[in-house]
Chain A
């Protein structure tokens, strides 16, 4: 059969038509597929929203006002704030940062009062009821004197937390005292940071260590001195102790101990004499 020109053209048109039709079908197929995908996704979103709503509801139920009140009564005991907890203006805030006047009352000092490192002598030092001094302080023990500082340092290093979780899990009561301090006296926000806490710890230990054997016992003594309100003496003692501590013997331990002993940082500037943030 001869293929005339018109035949070929009409076949060509038919072929194009067929291809177009096939493409249209394919396209509508595709559109439909995407549409159903969208619908499925929407259904999925709705499902997840319902799930979120359910979890939200559970949370709201567990944390409803009555539960929170009951929890507060049993666990926390938070009270409504009092006027003393609010500052009226920037002026009032600034007034807290005034430099210390000549007739200002003596500053309240807070010593780091860590629990003694757990050693073989876990019992607290016995205190002589007559002199008010620790028993160990009255009876010098030469061999302990030599051993103790090194041991204490080892303990300090051991107490340095390995990771953040361990650090956060630790209770540092002296931190709280530091905050209380801020309310009472403006001169307490100190330059923290590079301060050498490990050395300071040693410095605190040294002056008392002349007579007492262990730093653990020396610290309570320091605290006692403050209770008795003899700041000048303590200051002098500590100032004297400072240069002794300077030699970088314990350098490798500094980094670790720096994390461990944030409280000592607070104590240090008072001892050295009023290096405060507001000046």
Chain B
């Protein structure tokens, strides 16, 4: 309509001025409308935005902010064992200075300066990385003071972003249990690998995953094992503390250990876990299991019955003892002096089938029940020959992990109920029912016998006063290329305490201990593994609620008269 007016007004010269004025007005009006329209639009958009912000429920709530990138692992008392830690890393950003050279100085000079800060770094590799001009990590997890020193180099291309790294505050303690994570952030080993899904899942990673480990017990066990290992010059050592009533592992140590915070080539061989991965012929520690099975089967009814103790000839194979214990021994004496001959005779009377059934029930024919990857036992298949039964009875011809042994000993002393071992903290209602292997009466008898081994037998070095420890030594020769090696031993001490009401099984194992001054030149379990248990138990007992008490002990008055005074009769 206005355009029509304009077009007619133009025709006459008289209204020229009016037309100009009208046109200006029109333009002004148009502009006003434009501005008003724009303002209205902005206003409406703003109002919508306000309404949207006001009414819409914001999806990005604060709870997601505090969620760790990977769940924490804590011990049974809530002490953190693995957690996220914002560490600095060294990142090379060649574009920091814009176009042109990435570095102020030459790559060689910068690499040299970096090697001065990190003496273990490879200078040639650093130089190549700096010269390549590709953004990349030069180093992960650097210390704040190192970051400051890098800052002083004055190279803007060297950046140190803070990144959440997996950190193990306890250092190498419990490293084999915890394991480690790879560069992709997923667990590679140990419980990090086992719990990976739970630790990565946003729904469950907010709550820490509790292990059955007690860090104080773990620390004491590792400390004493390390001392024992150094005193006996052993190649390695392993140890377990197991709750006999629940199957929870309170401590599991394999030495030498590694530091999961810093994996270097030197520590890679130590990642191997001696306690669960390796199988050993454990030797005499199997004797109580044989004897318990014989008592259960009614083969050994009279503890006073004497067995001949001379060398035993079985089809061209002779069973010896470590030394001559006299003409005959009864069962308590055989355990106290660790007689292979008498144990073999007991097993012979028991028969291979029954021994095999019991051992299979104890899980000796399969991998140990533990979350960690574990070794497969060397288990004699088929029907056991007479000689197989006899050698297995004293711990040869059957190779097990120490974990198997710990579970079996727990069943031996807790009243005869076997439960699978676990590294997860169990609530009281989660404790498995278990399966009965021996009767409670058999277990009670075994508690007496094990206590006697420690109070008067080969385990005397483990007898911490007041803690009523019972256990059995075992020293087995390692098989080599040409049969058994007389000087390379695996020594084990399997113990439980307190024997009047067993609560915990403690296993200590030494790999190839040597005779040293500290061990009086001996290399058997009585001199290296047993003292470790004798020192560990007083350290962990009070922490676990077991107070030393010299007024209590398991009653061995019915067995005590059966023990001869000397080294057997």
Which A residues have a C-beta under 8 Å from some C-beta of B? Answer: 25, 27-29, 31-32, 35, 38-39, 41-43, 45-46, 49-50, 53-54, 56-57, 60-61, 64-66, 68-69, 80-84, 86, 88
**7 cross-chain CB contacts under 8 A:** A31-B54, A35-B53, A45-B62, A46-B66, A60-B170, A65-B220, A66-B173
> In the assembly, what is the distance between CA of A42 and CA of B58, in Å?
13
Q: Is A66's CB under 8 angstroms from B171's CB?
A: yes
- Closest Cβ neighbor of A70 among chain B residues: B223
Q: Is A46's CB under 8 angstroms from B62's CB?
A: yes
> Contacts A57-B167, A83-B465 hold; do A39 and B58 have CB atoms under 8 A apart?
yes
Q: Is B172's CB under 8 angstroms from A80's CB?
A: no
- Closest Cβ neighbor of B548 among chain A residues: A83
Q: Is A65's CB under 8 angstroms from B219's CB?
A: yes
**CB interface residues, B 209-228, toward A, < 8 Å:** 215-216, 218-220, 222-223
Point out the residues of chain B lying under 8 angstroms from A32, CB to CB.
50, 53-54
- Does B109 have its Cβ within 8 Å of any Cβ on chain A? no
- Closest Cβ neighbor of B170 among chain A residues: A64
Segment with Cβ contacts to A, from B77-85, B110-118, B152-160, B234-242: B77-85
- Does B37 have its Cβ within 8 Å of any Cβ on chain A? no
Return A128 CB to nearest CB of chain B, in Å: 47
Q: Is A80's CB under 8 angstroms from B538's CB?
A: yes
Point out the residues of chain A lying under 8 angstroms from B54, CB to CB.
27-29, 31-32
- Does B542 have its Cβ within 8 Å of any Cβ on chain A? yes
- Closest Cβ neighbor of B49 among chain A residues: A32
Point out the residues of chain B lying under 8 angstroms from A61, CB to CB.
169, 171
> In the assembly, what is the distance between CA of A88 and CA of B552, in Å?
10
**Interface SS of chain B: helix, strand, loop or mixed?**
mixed
Q: Is B65's CB under 8 angstroms from A43's CB?
A: yes
> In the assembly, what is the distance between CA of A31 and CA of B52, in Å?
11
Q: Is A25's CB under 8 angstroms from B171's CB?
A: no
Return A90 CB to nearest CB of chain B, in Å: 15
- Closest Cβ neighbor of B58 among chain A residues: A35
Which B residues have a C-beta under 8 Å from some C-beta of A? Answer: 47, 50-51, 53-55, 58, 60-63, 65-66, 79-80, 83-86, 167, 169-173, 215-216, 218-220, 222-223, 465-466, 535, 538-539, 541-542, 547-551
Return B133 CB to nearest CB of chain A, in Å: 35
Q: Is A64's CB under 8 angstroms from B167's CB?
A: no
- Closest Cβ neighbor of A81 among chain B residues: B542
> In the assembly, what is the distance between CA of A81 and CA of B464, in Å?
11
Return A254 CB to nearest CB of chain B, in Å: 44
Point out the residues of chain A lying under 8 angstroms from B83, CB to CB.
53, 57
Q: Is B62's CB under 8 angstroms from A43's CB?
A: yes
- Closest Cβ neighbor of B81 among chain A residues: A60
Q: Is B170's CB under 8 angstroms from A39's CB?
A: no
> In the assembly, what is the distance between CA of A53 and CA of B208, in Å?
13
> In the assembly, what is the distance between CA of A75 and CA of B443, in Å?
44
Tell which of A29, A35, A57 has the most Cβ of chain B within 10 Å. Answer: A57
Q: Is A81's CB under 8 angstroms from B216's CB?
A: no
Tell which of A43, A45, A50 has the most Cβ of chain B within 10 Å. Answer: A50
Q: Is A42's CB under 8 angstroms from B65's CB?
A: yes
Q: Is B219's CB under 8 angstroms from A68's CB?
A: yes
Point out the residues of chain B lying under 8 angstroms from A29, CB to CB.
50, 54
- Closest Cβ neighbor of B64 among chain A residues: A46
Q: Is A88's CB under 8 angstroms from B85's CB?
A: no
The 4 closest A-B pairs by CB, nearest first: A42-B62, A28-B54, A65-B219, A83-B466
Point out the residues of chain A lying under 8 angstroms from B84, CB to CB.
53
Return B155 CB to nearest CB of chain A, in Å: 27
A65 CB contact (under 8 Å) in B50, B218, B548: B218
Q: Is B549's CB under 8 angstroms from A86's CB?
A: yes
Q: Is B215's CB under 8 angstroms from A65's CB?
A: yes
Known A64-B169, A83-B550; further 4 A-B contacts with Cβ < 8 A:
A45-B62, A65-B219, A69-B223, A82-B466
Return A131 CB to nearest CB of chain B, in Å: 47
Return B260 CB to nearest CB of chain A, in Å: 13
> In the assembly, what is the distance between CA of A66 and CA of B170, in Å?
8
Q: Is A56's CB under 8 angstroms from B53's CB?
A: no
Return B253 CB to nearest CB of chain A, in Å: 11
Point out the residues of chain A lying under 8 angstroms from B169, CB to CB.
57, 60-61, 64
Point out the residues of chain B lying under 8 angstroms from A56, CB to CB.
80
- Closest Cβ neighbor of B80 among chain A residues: A60
Tell which of A50, A54, A83 has the most Cβ of chain B within 10 Å. Answer: A83
Point out the residues of chain A lying under 8 angstroms from B47, CB to CB.
25
A45 CB contact (under 8 Å) in B55, B66, B538: B66
Q: Is A65's CB under 8 angstroms from B170's CB?
A: yes
> In the assembly, what is the distance between CA of A83 and CA of B223, in Å?
22
Point out the residues of chain B lying under 8 angstroms from A88, CB to CB.
549, 551
Q: Is B80's CB under 8 angstroms from A57's CB?
A: yes
Tell which of A31, A45, A64 has the most Cβ of chain B within 10 Å. Answer: A64
Return B142 CB to nearest CB of chain A, in Å: 16
Q: Is A69's CB under 8 angstroms from B219's CB?
A: yes
Return A39 CB to nearest CB of chain B, in Å: 6
> Contacts A45-B66, A81-B538 hold; do A28 and B549 have CB atoms under 8 A apart?
no
Q: Is B548's CB under 8 angstroms from A86's CB?
A: yes
Point out the residues of chain A lying under 8 angstroms from B219, CB to CB.
64-66, 68-69
